Each structure stands twice: as C-alpha cells, then as structure tokens.
Structure 1
Amino acid sequence: MTEISTMLIILAVTVAVFIWNKFPVEIVAIGVALVLYATGIISVDDAFAGFGSGTVVLIAALFVVAEAIDAAGITTWMGGLLVKYAGTSRPRLIILIMVFVAVVTAVISVNGAVAALLPMVVVLAVRLKREPAQLLMPMAIAAHAGSLLVLTGSPVNILILEAALMSTGQGIGFFEFALVGLPLLAGSIVIAVYLGPWLLPRRSPGSLPKDLSDLPDVLGGQYWPEEHDVARLFVPTGAVAVGKATKDVLPSASGSVHLLSIQNDAGKPLESPTVEAGTYLVVRGTALNISDFATDQGLTSTSEGHPNVTCGLVCKSFGVVEVLVTPRSNLIGTLAYPGMITESGSLVVLAHQRAGKSPTNRENPVKAGDTLLLQGTWRALDQHTHDHNVLLVDSPDAIRRQTVPLGPGTVPALTILAAMVVLLTTNLVPAPVAALLAAMAMVLTRVVGITHAHRSMSWTTLVLVAGMIPLSGAITKTGTADMLANGIVHLTGGGSPYLLLAGIFVVTAVLGQLISNTATALIIIPIALSVAAEAGISPLTVLMCVSVASAAALLTPIATPANMMIMHPAGYKFGDYWKFGIVVMALYLIVAVFLVPVFWPLN
C-alpha cells in the first residue's frame, strides 16, 4: 500500500471518528499522531512536534490574556453598558448585543465571549419580556463574525497566519482579518434584524444561567432584612473614634448600627481592641443611621446618595461568599459569630444562619448545614474557600465577574493588551513572543493569578491543535494534498478560480458543522495550498477563503461549544440552527468567494 493510500485511509477514519463523537477529541488527535508514527509516515520527533509549536504557544498565551481581560471586569463593564443602553427597541437590542459580543470575541475568542455575555443577555431578555431564543442565536452568530475582526479572535486565524508565513513569507496583519469580518458582522446584523423574527423559534428556555449581578442586595436582605445596608467607613487621623475601645464606639450612634469587622485598606480583617487611624470599620444598619454614625464619629467615605456610606459587601478589591458547612466538617462544634476572624486570618464571618435564621445567641456552635457569610479580598476568598469542610454556594470568581465592572486590574490589563496589539501589528517580535510577554505581564501585575492562568487554558483546544499538526504536515509530505487538490480542480473544471474557491468553501464549511473548526482548518489548509499551486492562484486568497469558511460553523449545535452553550438557555432544538444559519451561511459564501479576492487578489 502506498503512503498516499495509507494517508487517505487515516484521514477518512479521523474524520469519521470525529463525527462519531464517541471519544474525546484530544484522544483522537493524539491517536492520529501515533498512528502516523506507527505507519512510518512521520518520525517520532514529528509526531510530537506540535506540542513545541509556536502556534500552540501563541494560543496558550492568548488564553491567559483573555482570562485577564475578563478577570479585570472589562467584559462585565461592557455587559453593563448593554443593559443600560439597550432600551426596549428590538432592532436596537439586536444590534447592540451583536456588536458587543463581536468586540468581546475579538479579544477573548468565540467561546469566551458567549460564556461571558450569555447570563446578561438572558437576564436582559427576561427583563424586557422577550424570548431568549430570539436573542441568543444572533449573539452566537455575531461571535463567529467577531472571530474574524482581529488575529486573536480565533485559533484558526493563527493557523492561517502561520500557513501564510510558511507558504509565501508574507503575513496577515493583526487587523487585516476585519476586511472580511466587518462585512460579515454587518450582514449578520441585517439578517438578524429583518429576518430573525421569521427564522428564529419562539421557545421557552429549558434552563437559565444564574444571574449574580444583584447578589449583594439579595444577601443583605437575607441576612439582615431590616437593616441590610452594609458600609465600609474609613477612619482618618483626628477622627473622634480614634483611640476609643471598639466596643464603646457604636453605642454613641443614633439608631441601630452594628460593627461587623475592622479591616485594613486591602480588606484584610484586623483584631484590634481600639479604633486606629487608617483602618476601616465595616458596619451594618440603615443607610441613614450609618450616615449619621459616620458624621458623629468623623468617619469618611464616598458613596452616592449618602456621602458617608461606601460599599460594604462587594468592592473592587474584596467581596463576600456564602458557604455551607458539610456533614463531618471539622468546623462542626466550633463557635461562629459576626466579626470572628477565620483561622487563616484573611476572612471575617459577617453572618451565621441556621435554616435561614440567625441564632439568638451571639456565639453559637456550628452545625452541619449552617450557612456562613464570609468577607475578604477576592484572592483570599479564592484561596481559603475551596475547602472540604464547606461547600461554596457561588464561587468568588463568578461573583466578582458579574458584580465588579472595571476592577483594580483594568488599567494594567488594557495597557498590556494595547502593547501586545502594537507588537503583533508591527511585527517587532514573533507573534508567540508578543503573546507570551503579554501573558507574563498579566500575571506579574496581578491582573490574573497564576492559578487562574492555569485554569484559563482550554486543554482540549491546545491538545487538539498539537495532535493534529502532524496530520496537517503529513498530508503535504506524502503528496496527499496534491492529489486531493488535483481532484478538486478536476471536479470544478479547472476554469474559474471563483468556482475553485466555492469548492474549497463548501468542503470546509460542511466539515466544520460536524467536527471542530480548528481540526477542519488543520485538515483543509494543506489541501487548499495545493489547490492554489495547481490552479496558479495566490495562497493568501485560498487561506482567507478557508478562514471565512471555518468561521461559518453555524448549522448545528455541535459545531462549536458556543453553539452548544446557547441551546438549553434558549430552548433550541437541533433543527433550529440551520434555519437561521443557512441564510447567514450564504453571506459567508459570498464573502469568501467574491469579497476575499478583492482584498487578497487571485494573482
């Protein structure tokens, strides 16, 4: 059996196993590399070369950058703008949602953008009494178009860039993808606005993502129904309260004000018998009583409405979580009371409830099933609440992302992102180096912690790309790409280059509905380059055609994780996707076949 015959069998089996979807895609990708080695088509070094590829390094670094942008609260801020300016007009709502998600996708990828904005769009739909099914499909479609706005929008773009550099020595600019991305986004918006009401289903959602945006108010009402305002008051030098015993400060307040904690400026609780200048008092009560108390004691803060009341439960640098005490927890039998500092010294207990009610005594032994409300810095909450003794009701990370727009890492995150874009645009350093520098800077400036940087990795994508790179190379090495290219040229008559582009688009788009569009690109790229060589057209033209076709993963929920994410919240069925997607797919075909050659000429 010839190498080409063996390669064709491996290629066919690979596609079939991907479509069968019974094995993890990582296993399939690595298995393909091992089979290629076992059949002697590639060496053992080539089989594992993908794991040391600059492409994989670049994608991994971009995952960290994307996580940092999200962690800084930038996506939450954008979601807040969406809620604020959307109004009740359906066209305006659709346009804003699609533009927002496209912009976010350009920075943090299709799946990251849809995951970040999905809860806000669903909540917005409920508030405006609209079916989520009418909004979520346009959101996902816009995310796919947004992946073609800049280089970082999709791993496929990076593969296209690498292929362009290898085949022509000429790269594709950071913003150059927008030449096709912007028309795709604009066209998708027009289709969604004017044809959406007829093409999109009206269904009741099967499940809704959790909305944590008003969690501080919900917790305040649950734990302190009558006096649920919580404030963090600064003690300046010369304040009346300075030097007083902590227990003697509060009784002088008018009304009922309760001290919950004394903290430093970073939100770390302090054990101090007296009130010291430069510290913060966390108190609860009514907003008016807290304001009067702050005035009496010479305390300062900067909250709107009540100038002496500042945020108490959730702020940029610290927040709260609820935990449930597990059966057989080591905490059972220990005392818990408001103001108590935990064993780590980094968290303070704000409240203790049993069966939804606060115990009558101040100090109460903890029992299984009790709920504790804990406050501390976001870093401390992350570090000290992942414990077998308690169960988190909502993770600190999820709470922070939905309640704290533009956190303390916003300025460094945007600065680093801008620097990375400059490096990628000017080609001062190779793309993997630019992305790695940005990822390292995000960690060193503490925009994102090293633990979250590790968690941000989509190992499925990284292993898939690394495992499939040997297959992509083997298709070219064995001459299989040339043979398949000859077949495509023969089938299309070899005359019109536009017919060739249409053939490449159809093959890529069909595969992209059934298997990962990243895997599809890795299979199609070498074949497309051979088609270009056979037909005498520019490699850049066919590569950008493949890029557009890979982004057209619109017809099935299994085409991308983003498509799957919206299925249950919208109540979609499998067949709902193609009705809207096929119209948008026609737009992608027109752009790939007729607009791409305008910007990347055929010759």
Structure 2
Amino acid sequence: MTTDQIFLFGLFGILFAMLVWGRVRYDLVAFAALLIAVLAGHVDPDAAFAGFGHPAVVIIALVLIVSRGLVNSGAVELIARFVVAPDRPLPVHISVMAVAGAALSAVINNVAALALLMTLDMDVAKKARRAVSLTLMPLSFATILGGMITLIGTPPNIVIAQYRQDALGAPFSMFDFTPVGLIVSVVGIAFVALAGWRLIPARDGSQPLDEDAGLYVAEARAREGSRAIGRMVRDLYPDAADKDVQIIGLVRRGKRLPGFARTEEIRKGDFLVLEGDPKSIEAFMGTAELDFAGSEKHGGLRGANLTLIEAIVPDTARIVNRSALDVRLLYRHGVTLLGVSRGGKRFRDRVRKLAIRPGDVLLLLGPDDRMDQTAQWLGVYPLADRKTALIQRRKAAAAIGAFGIAIALAVTGITTLAIGLSACVVAYIAMGLLGGEDFYAMIEWKVIVLLASLIPLSAALEASGGTELIANAIVGGTNGWPAWAILLVLMVVTMTMSDFLNNVATALIAAPIGVSVAGSLGANPDPFLMGVAVAASCAFLTPIGHKNNTIIMGPGGYQFGDYWRMGLALEVIVIAVAVPAILWVWPL
C-alpha cells in the first residue's frame, strides 16, 4: 500500500468507528474527516466543498421539498383514505398498509411516506386495541423496500445514479431501478405481511408521538359545494367519530342554536362547532369539505402556505380579557383564531368573540411566515413542536400534475431530474403549497452535510487506488468463484455496512468498489452498481441503519434487539431474490 492509501484507510477506519459509536453527530464526524483530509493534502482545497453542489445532494434536497408540497396539497392523503379500517384482520391491515407505504415511497421520499402513514397506523392500532409494535415495523420495512422502485424513492439510488454519471458517463434513469426494485419489494412485502410480523414481540408504544395540550373548541364553515350541506348534523357523526372529533353545536346567522342541534339540516354559511385535537379537527374539515372560520373575510389566506400553531396565554398577553374580534386579529395580521382549549371546559360563545383568559391555549391559523410575529404581538407563547400544516385539498390535482410533468421532462431527456424537480418546487410555491421556510425545515441538513463531505473523501480514496485495492481483495478472496457469487459477497458486505452506517455513506463507499470489482472481472459494472443500491437501502437489523427504523423505535416501544427478529430473515430473502433479478435485468 502507498502512503496515501494508508492515510485514507486509517481516516475511513476512524470515521466508521465514530459513526458506529454514534456519540457524535454523523455530519460533524464526516465534516471533520473532510477537513483533516484537506489539511493533510489528500483533498484539493478547491474541491473540498464541491460535494455541496453535486447533483445527488441537490436532488435529495429537492425530493424532500417536493414531498412536503404533495403532502400539503392532500395528494398523499387521497391514498391514505383508502388504507385505514380498524376492523380488518391484522394480516390484511399490514398488507394494505405495506402496499400503500411502498407505493408512496416510490414517488416521494420514503421517510416522508412513513411519517404520513405512521400516524394513521397508530390510530388504527388504538381503535383496534392491539399493540402498535405489531404493525409499525412492517410499515417501516415496507417503505424502505418501496423506496428502491424508482430513482427518487431513496437516497442510495440517487447516489448510485449520479456515481454512474461520474464513472461511466451516463446516470441511471428514473425507472432503471424499477424492475429489480419492484421484484424485491413484492417478495419482501409478501414475507412481512404474511409471516414476518409474527416474529415481532407485542409491545405497547412507550413514547407516543404527541401529547395533547387539551381538546379545542373550534368552528368550521359549510362552504359552497360542501358535502355537509343538506345533511343533518347527526349524519356527520360517523365521519366525526372516525376522526376523533365531536360535533357539539351549530351556529347560524351569528347565533349558536340550542343544544347540539342534532336534527338541524346544515345550510351554506352555517358553522359547525367542533371539539377535538388540532390534527383531528383539520382532518375532519377535509373529509366534510369545511372551511376555517374567517376564510371568507380574508381571501389572501387561500393562496398561502397555512399552518396551525398552538400557543398558551400568560396573564400579561395583549389578548387577555379581550376577544380575537376585539384585537382585530384577522384584519391586522391575516391570522385566524380557529379554536380555544380551556382545560377541557366547553363554552357557548363564538370562538372569535370569546374573551380569552390566562391559561387558555389558542389554536391559531395563518401563513407560516407570519405566525411567530403574530404570537409575539399577541403576547402568547407557542408550544414547542405543536405545528400542524393545513392541507389544501383543492390543489391536489394541480400538485400531482406538476409533479408528473417534472418526472416526464426528466424521463424523456428534455431536462435533468434536478431541473425538473426545481421547476416543480417553483410551481408549488406559486400555488401556495410551499413557503420559504419549507426550504429549510424539510431538508435533512445532517444528511446533506454527510453526503457533501463524503463525496470528496470517496473521490480521494478512489484516486489513490484504495477502492481498487479493496476490489482486488474481494476478487482474490473469491478466486475461482462465478461472477454471481462475487456479486452476492459484495451485496452481503454492503448490507452489513448499511445496518450500522448511514445508507448514504454506505452507497458512496461501496459504489466505487463495485465498479472496480466489475473491472477486475471484465464484467458489466451495472449489475454491481444495482447490487450496491439494493444492499445499501436494505438495512433491517438495527434501528440505526435507516432513519425510518429510528423513527418507529420510540412510538413502537421497540428494543434494539427487536429488529433482527424479522430483519435477518428479510435481508436473507432480499439477497436471495435480488441477485437473480439483477442478473436477469442487467446481464453480466
């Protein structure tokens, strides 16, 4: 080995040890390693930060932003409506949720797909009175499997596609991953739904996603064309119960009708008085096609990126002993007081006319970029992590159309995927589905810094001949073996690394090794790159190999050792199915 190789192997060894140890954030570890390599003269200072402009980094960031826009439009929710039913047998429920999760992960980031469906899955588990651990892990594994189906479904695919561009002159296209990814996903989901879930211990979630600050009393208007118009209030009770909301009254011409108004027929312009938590109220408004109170008086809100926040009222707040109408909240700031929580107590006053007391919790709705300023003006304290995006369901078709056009432009070669997705983001901003803060809130900056730091390091290792050295060791250790067996060994090594390292880091390190192995064998490099893509994505043995596994650990009440029970068998199945599928689609 040369001096350069010894240094870089030592640096990567320390880097891997720090990543597995996990006591220091992985992005900081990777960035520190990059600086050490620069100062030691193994990475050119002019190329040190080139990774931040790499197409793979840009595409990963854009996919996360586009995913938020699709969620905000209600496009993703359209699928979710058909997958939830508490009375289904457990294997059927897991099958439906797994297929939905995999399908979503193919078109949006798999982390975003899990975040959406996980809440629904937990609600179903609660209603069915079964341990949520039995269904959350299958859902997580299914979203990981589904991400392999397209280029944008999972970061390793993006990394591998762009590495092929650098190494071979052309990237993998959007659907080059589909044949192998679809075969592996179908077989993997079948195992998870039919047998795998039986290997999981039944545990109650020890860390619920959300602790309610209390139930809010809110008002929602029956707009023109609403499906609620012409129906009695009691006709909406089943939908309300399904969303964990109670309808406790009806307001007509500014006056609250007596009692619960169960038998009153709902008319255009009536306000339903609702009681529930913010997410439940928002979901029921979508189902019943209701508008928030005040929308008819401030049309500017219709095109904005709207957010619900919860804020507690101190005794020094401007709004104490005054109502939202008194302080002209909507007129001055374009923010609506949607609901009030008063320690579980109900009240008959109109929400906007209610005199606010110290200790009340307000549910405020308005443009995301105005909420902090408005809360400060009111003198209230927003509760941490208590934001809920308002879904703009009328824009679902337009959002899907913009996304479809972006993908079509990339697939037909009219423009690159990065430019197509950028155009989609601009369209979402114009539609009011995204605000400026979404650029920063939705991007996983730790992953971006990790990837941008490792790209120059990986290039330095390859330039030094280090990856070729590893490839020769693999080929030498498997001397006389058929090419398919060497591909299998490469996938097993990559998959093992991915179980303990970030999957992006694994793909970056393993991709050059795969190309070098193919070169040593005189074989087509594409099956080896595909093998790395599949293996880097499939981290099922630990909660740290993939972010989805980390996300479900607390809500599912899982222990570190629970993952391998189903994950080990699934990884064996993936290898057994992927190797012949790769060789069939991408011959050596």
> Normalising TM by the smaller chain, what interval?
0.7 to 0.9
Q: Deviations over 1:261-313 (max 9, x none)?
A: xxxxxxxxxxxxxxxxxxxx676446759967959xxx6899xxxxxx97354
Aligned match of 2:216: 219
Q: In structure 2, do the counterparts of structure 1 residues 179 and 395 end up closer, same or farther at CA, with 3 Å as the change threshold?
A: same
Which residue in 2 is equivalent to 1:20? 21
Aligned 8 A contact 2:132 2:205 in 1: yes
What CA deviation, in whole Å up to 9, does each residue of 1:238-273 have, x standing for no partner? xxxxxxxxxxxxxxxxxx9757xxxxxxxxxxxxxx
Q: Is the 8 Å Cα contact of residues 141 and 540 (structure 2) preserved in structure 1? A: yes
5+ residue gaps, structure 1: 224-228, 236-255, 260-280, 303-308
Alignment-mate amino acid for residue 5 of structure 1:
I
Q: 1 CA distance for matches of 2:55 and 2:378? A: 39
Secondary structure, counterpart of 1:323 in structure 2:
strand
Equivalent residue of 1:533, what SS? helix
Alpha-carbon distance in structure 2 between the residues aligned to 1:178 and 1:493: 32
Instruction: Tell me the amino acid that sits aligned with residue 569 of structure 1.
Output: P
Q: Conserved in 1, the CA contact under 8 Å of 2:317 and 2:378? A: no
Given that 1:63 and 1:456 are in contact with CA atoms closer than 8 Å, whether structure 2 keeps it comes out as: yes
Q: Read off the aligned partner of 1:398 and give its amino acid letter.
A: T
Q: Aligned AA for 2:119? A: P
Partner in structure 2 of residue 428 of structure 1: 414
Q: Give how far 1:193 is off.
A: 2.9
State the 1:399 CA deviation.
5.6
| Partner Cα separation in structure 1 for residue 317 and residue 425 of structure 2 | 39
Counterpart pick for 1:369 among 359, 363, 376: 359
Contact 2:50-2:456 at 8 Å conserved across structures: yes
Hey, what does 1:116 align to over in structure 2?
Answer: 116
Secondary structure of 1:575's match? helix
Alpha-carbon separation, structure 2, partners of 1:292 and 1:481: 73
Partners of 1:66 and 1:187 in 2: CA distance: 26
Report the AA paired with residue 202 of structure 2: R
Q: Could you tell me which amino acid in structure 2 is paired with residue 552 of structure 1?
A: C
Written as runs of structure 1 = structure 2, the 5 A alignment for 1:142-541 is 142-210=142-210, 219-220=216-217, 230-232=220-222, 284-285=256-257, 288=261, 311=290, 313=292, 317=302, 322-326=310-314, 329-331=316-318, 333=320, 335-336=322-323, 341-342=328-329, 344-349=332-337, 355-357=343-345, 367-374=357-364, 384-385=374-375, 389-392=379-382, 397-398=387-388, 400=390, 404=391, 407-541=393-527
**Equivalent residue, structure 2, for 1:581:** 567
Corresponding residue number in structure 1 for 2:280: none
Q: Secondary structure at the match of 1:117?
A: helix
Shift in Å at residue 192 of structure 1?
Answer: 1.9
**Which amino acid is 2:27 matched to?**
E
Q: Which runs of 4+ in 1 moved over 4 A?
A: 232-235, 256-259, 281-284, 286-295, 299-302, 312-322, 337-340, 348-367, 373-383, 385-388, 393-397
Q: Which has the larger radius of gyration?
A: 1
Distance 1:211 1:118, change over 3 A: farther
The one-letter code sitting in structure 1 at the alignment partner of 2:362 is L
Compare 37-46 and 169-178 and name the one that shifted more.
Answer: 169-178
* Offset at residue 8 of structure 1 (A): 1.2
Match of 2:554 in 1: 568
Structure 1 residue 48, shift from structure 2 partner? 1.2
Q: Which amino acid aligns with 1:179?
A: P
Q: Across the two proteins, how many residue pairs are aligned to each other?
A: 536
Contact 2:342 2:360 in 1 (8 A): yes
Deviations along 1:108-164, one digit per CA (max 9) or x if unpaired, are 222211111111101111212222111111111111111111111011111111122
Match of 2:240 in 1: none
Contact 1:494 1:535 in 2 (8 A): no
2:72 corresponding residue in structure 1: 71
Report if aligned partners of 1:120, 1:211 keep a CA contact under 8 Å in 2: no
Preserved contact between residue 310 and residue 383 of structure 2 (Cα < 8 Å): yes
1:457 deviation in Å? 0.9
Provide the secondary structure at the position in 2 that maps to 1:123: helix
CA shift at 1:349, angstroms?
Answer: 4.2
Letter of the 1:432 partner, please give it: A
How far apart, in 1, do the equivalents of 2:348 and 2:419 lie? Answer: 60
Whether the aligned pair in 2 keeps the contact of 1:501 and 1:542 (CA below 8 Å) is yes
Partner of 1:262: none
Map of 1:270 onto structure 2: none
Counterpart of 1:306?
none
TM-fit CA distance, 1:398 = 2.1
CA 1:389–1:200 in structure 2 vs 1: closer, same or farther (change >3 Å)? same
Task: Using the TM superposition, give the Cα deviation of residue 188 of structure 1 relative to its aligned residue in structure 2, in angstroms.
Answer: 1.8
State the alpha-carbon separation in 1 of the partners of residues 136 and 495 from structure 2: 22
The alpha-carbon distance between structure 1 residues 15 and 332, as it changes in their structure 2 partners (threshold 3 A), is: same
Does residue 23 of structure 2 align to residue 35 of structure 1? no
2:251–2:270 Cα contact (<8 Å) kept:
no
Mean Cα deviation higher: 166-175 or 93-102: 166-175
What is the alpha-carbon distance in structure 2 between the residues aligned to residue 202 and residue 4 of structure 1? 48
- Tell me how far 1:6 sits from its aligned partner: 1.1
Q: Which has the larger displacement, 582-591 or 353-362?
A: 353-362
Report the counterpart of residue 5 of structure 2 in structure 1.
4
Report the CA distance shift for 1:466/1:197 in structure 2 as closer, same or farther (over 3 A).
closer
Distance in 2, Cα, partners of 1:556 & 1:568: 14
Aligned to 1:138: 138
Match of 2:284 in 1: none
Change (3 A) 1:373 1:190: closer
C-alpha contact 2:292 2:338 (8 A) present in aligned 1: no
Equivalent pair of 1:331/1:366 in contact (CA under 8 Å)? no
Kept after mapping to 2: 8 A contact 1:420/1:434:
yes
1:128 is the counterpart of 2:118: no
Q: Aligned letter for 1:96?
A: V
What does residue 242 of structure 1 align with?
none
Structure 1 length normalisation: TM-score?
0.80
> 1:64-111 deviations in whole A, cap 9, x for unaligned?
111111111222332222115x74122221111101111111222222
Once the two structures are TM-superposed, the CA of residue 336 in structure 1 deviates from its matched residue by 2.4
Query: Could you say what the CA RMSD is over the residues aligned between the two structures, in angstroms?
Result: 3.4
Does the 8 A contact of 1:231 with 1:282 survive in 2?
A: no
Q: Distance in 2 between matches of 1:575 and 1:561?
A: 17
Deviations 1:513-539 (A, max 9, x none): 111010111111111111111111111
**Is the alpha carbon distance of 1:177 and 1:313 closer, same or farther for their aligned partners in structure 2, counting shifts above 3 Å?**
same
CA-to-aligned-CA distance 1:211-257 (integer Å, 9 cap, x gap): 99xx99x534xx7xxxxx7534679xxxxxxxxxxxxxxxxxxxx97
CA distance in 1, matches of 2:348, 2:266: 25
- 1:529-588 Cα distance to aligned partner (Å, 9 max, x none): 111111111111110000010111110011122101111221211111001001110122
Alpha-carbon distance between aligned partners in 1 of 2:289 and 2:419, rounded to the nearest angstrom: 43
TM-score (norm 2): 0.82
**Matches of 1:377 and 1:282, distance apart in 2:** 26
Percent of paired sites with the same residue: 26
The answer as to whether partners of 2:409 and 2:415 remain within 8 angstroms in 1 is yes
